[in-house]
Structure 1
């Protein structure tokens, strides 16, 4: 019973923080995912150290430089959105910091590390692509893609947070419905070596219901912002790539021999545990919006 109340309280706080950060202003949206990136990346480093103990030998310069480069890259995705009176934007500053640290970090690692190994640079680069690039594209989606392909009856642009919020909602619906359907009628294991509790019936059921929910939203409310078929595709992306993202993180945790990526959220694990689906779905959603849903 104590565990149930702990999980419930944590979930309520989590939802409140997420909604507040996403909806309050563009800057709080950026700040929310800036912090998620910072902590999720550190959890990723911890998993890699469990998988390959050699990664624990990277220099302090490597660790610090990588975190700075990651934070700078997140800033870079804001573009010209946040600018000072001197016309110095957060995005411009972020791009220059990213370039500088990504250029000098390998040099410092080679010179300062007692046991330099090229594979450790690869692990770090993978972390930037897997976590920082994904969340940066989500921020870019919010701040820069307000003009999208509207229906003939649309009267104006939608809020920047709309697609990211709905993408997260579709992922949540897919995960929840997959669990419920799998518990009721699931019989056939989907990926027993990675996630023994996932079933084909639950996975397919979750995807169908997530797309159905997108259809209902698109038909009754969403068409004033985005054509119905786009909402259906975005839900499909959330379901398919969200499920793949969940399996990828489960595989990493199995390789590392840990149950959760972290313990920041009692009863729910760490940041990677909460955002594993979004980390893979966000880049594909960005690609779809960029190439198919923009005017």
Structure 2
């Protein structure tokens, strides 16, 4: 009972922070995911240290340099949205990203106990896995959709909601009729019935809402496509992070949220779904 209460309080607090950050202003949206990116990168590095002990030998320059590079890349994705006196956060971010990514190997050579392209690759992979998706999500927020009356936060919010619906429905359907394991070596509790059921119900919910109420913001086909992307690639993101945790031999990526794990545990689906949603929006919506 105590665990249930803790999980509920944490979940309500998490939802309140998420909605406040997403809906308030473009700046609050950026600050929210800037912080999420910062902590998720640290959790990724911790997982890698469990997977490969060589990563524990990297220098402090490498460790903090990768974090700064991730923060700089997030700044870069803001573009010209936060500009003052002719200088924007985006320009500062691009300059810092270039500098830190360029001199990261040099610093490792000079300051590390050993030099390994493998450990450099782990850090660059972390930036691609964590920071780029959050940056693309910010780009979706900052770029207006021409010809539609959709607020800037609509598509990122829909993506998160569709992922939540898919996960919830997959759990319910899997609990009721799930029999066939989907990926037993990675996530033993996932079933094919639950996974497919969650996807179908997420797309159905998006179609119903888009048909009756959402057409004022986006045409129905975009509601269906975005929900399908969230369901399919969100599930892939969940399995990918589960695989990383199994390789690392840990249950959760972190413990920042009691009863819910870490930031990677909460945003694993979004990390894979966001880039594909960005591609779809860039090609067919904008």
Q: SS at 1:197's partner residue?
A: strand
Normalised TM-score (structure 1): 0.96
How far off is 1:216 after superposition?
A: 1.3
2:259 corresponds to 1:261 = no
Distance, in Å, in 2 between the alignment partners of 1:217 and 1:34 is 30
1:226 to 213, 218, 233: 218
How far off is 1:114 after superposition?
A: 1.0
Q: Which runs of 5+ in 2 are unaligned?
A: none
How far off is 1:44 after superposition?
A: 0.2
Moved over 2 A (4+): none
2:178 corresponds to 1:186 = yes
Distance, in Å, in 2 between the alignment partners of 1:266 and 1:244 is 25
Distance, in Å, in 2 between the alignment partners of 1:129 and 1:238 is 19
Distance, in Å, in 1 between the alignment partners of 2:40 and 2:251 is 16
Aligned to 1:91: 90
How far off is 1:149 after superposition?
A: 5.5
Distance, in Å, in 2 between the alignment partners of 1:216 and 1:260 is 35
Distance, in Å, in 1 between the alignment partners of 2:109 and 2:236 is 35
Q: Which runs of 5+ in 1 are unaligned?
A: 151-156
Q: SS at 2:190's partner residue?
A: strand
Q: SS at 2:10's partner residue?
A: helix
How many residues align structurally?
A: 286
Contact 2:21–2:29, Cα closer than 8 Å, also in 1: yes
RMSD over aligned CA atoms reads 0.8
2:123 corresponds to 1:131 = no
Say which is worse superposed, 111-120 or 241-250, in terms of deviation: 111-120
How far off is 1:148 after superposition?
A: 4.2
Contact 1:149–1:293, Cα closer than 8 Å, also in 2: no
Distance, in Å, in 1 between the alignment partners of 2:99 and 2:49 is 26
Distance, in Å, in 2 between the alignment partners of 1:20 and 1:92 is 27
Normalised TM-score (structure 2): 0.99
How far off is 1:226 after superposition?
A: 1.3
Contact 2:145–2:285, Cα closer than 8 Å, also in 1: no
1:147 to 145, 148, 161: 145
1:217 to 185, 209, 216: 209
Describe how 1:161-200 pairs up with structure 2 within 5 A: 161-200=153-192
Distance, in Å, in 1 between the alignment partners of 2:2 and 2:146 is 46
